[in-house]
Amino acid sequence: MDFNNTCFSQFYSNEKAKQTLVQFAADGRLPHAILFEGPAGCGKTFLARLTAAAALCQQPGGPCGLCRACRLTLAGTHPDVAVLSPDSPEKPYSVKALRELILSCYVLPNDGDKKIYILRDIHKMSEQAQNTLLKMIEEPPAHVMFLLTCTSRAQILPTILSRVVTIMLTTCPVEECAQALQNRLPQCSAQECAHAARLTGGNIGKALLLLQDEALSQLYRTAREAVELLCCKDEFHLLCLLRPASKKKEDFSALLSNLQELFLEIVKEKNAPSAPALGNEGKLFPDAVMNRITTLQAVQIIDIIRKVQAELAQNVSPALASAQLCGLCKEVL
């Protein structure tokens, strides 16, 4: 089965993942629970929506993109497809809300054969919330499908991982990302699209944000420069770099999130040399930077960032959190 004959062709790169999904759909055996794992911005939710369309498509070998079910699903208006995000005001990942979701699973679909729940960023669920979700994933009604997303399976309970089919996603090659940006944002020049693609290592979602939000673009540039200074053990210039962002809690929190994602990508790149090319000249960072840090050190820095994020959430001042980040990373490096 060729995914180019389906709506899966709209998803860039990740040919193996698309081929797996289209084969599942063609055979009529889409799993009841799929976990899409990949960096923020790589299109996990979009691919989950395409998978939902495949499950509900009224034509064989879908998603066709033309039938009523596909059109409603891809437009986000299908009555049997619910998309939940951890940051929404309804707090859908509280234990109470998840118990209500479990009860709703037993209500039959309104318009199709399946009732589909797309749960974004489940790594942000508490352990108790994940255990609550596990109860439904273990033995769901026949008409229910869960499509989950996360940035790293390391933050997901092993009991959940054992009951889902995990599909790994990566960012695009830089050239393909630049072309996708030009298709999505024709008002941007080819040079602007190429620069955003290189800056984000082929991450279409992040590149789109950078091209449309200058504040986010500056934060991401700062995060990349901070990684280079950390790897070069330049604590003084790192503190100087972080000072503007550390004046405002929201900015520093966003910067920490960018730092964490960049170090996660460093870990993946170091341990997957055959992965699709990232960054300028096929690298997320130059060899001069990558060779200064080991995989273990990158993992330790990720743990430090998470610790600083937790303390920031407990009202530690951004300036103090910034100093602590630099000090702890210096010890690791």
Segment 257-276, tens digit of pLDDT: 889 888 987 887 788 655 44
* 60: preceding bond cis by omega (within 30 degrees): no
Q: For residue 135, count other CB atoms closer than 10 A to its CB.
A: 12
Question: Does residue 118 carry a pLDDT above 90?
Answer: yes
Band the pLDDT of 168: cuts 50, 70, 90. Answer: very high
Cβ–Cβ under 8 Å, residues 305 and 264: no
- What pLDDT score was predicted for residue 284? 67
Question: Does residue 103 carry a pLDDT above 90?
Answer: yes
Band the pLDDT of 280: cuts 50, 70, 90. Answer: very low
Question: Does residue 95 carry a pLDDT above 80?
Answer: yes
List pLDDT tens digits, range 184-206. Answer: 999 998 888 988 888 788 999 98
**Whole-number mean pLDDT of the chain?**
90
Question: Does residue 162 carry a pLDDT above 50?
Answer: yes
Alpha-carbon gap, residue 320 to 312, rounded angstroms: 9
CA distances, 80 to each of 37, 57, 124, 134, 204 (Å): 23, 12, 24, 21, 28
Alpha-carbon gap, residue 265 to 196, rounded angstroms: 17
Tokens representing 141 are: 């009604």
Q: Tell me how many helices (H) and strands (E) the chain has.
A: 15, 5
Span 312-318, mean pLDDT? 90
Alpha-carbon gap, residue 149 to 166, rounded angstroms: 9
Phi, psi (deg, nearest 5) at residue 81: -120, 115
3 state SS of 107: coil
- What pLDDT score was predicted for residue 273? 52
- The secondary element (H helix, E strand) that includes residue 316 is none
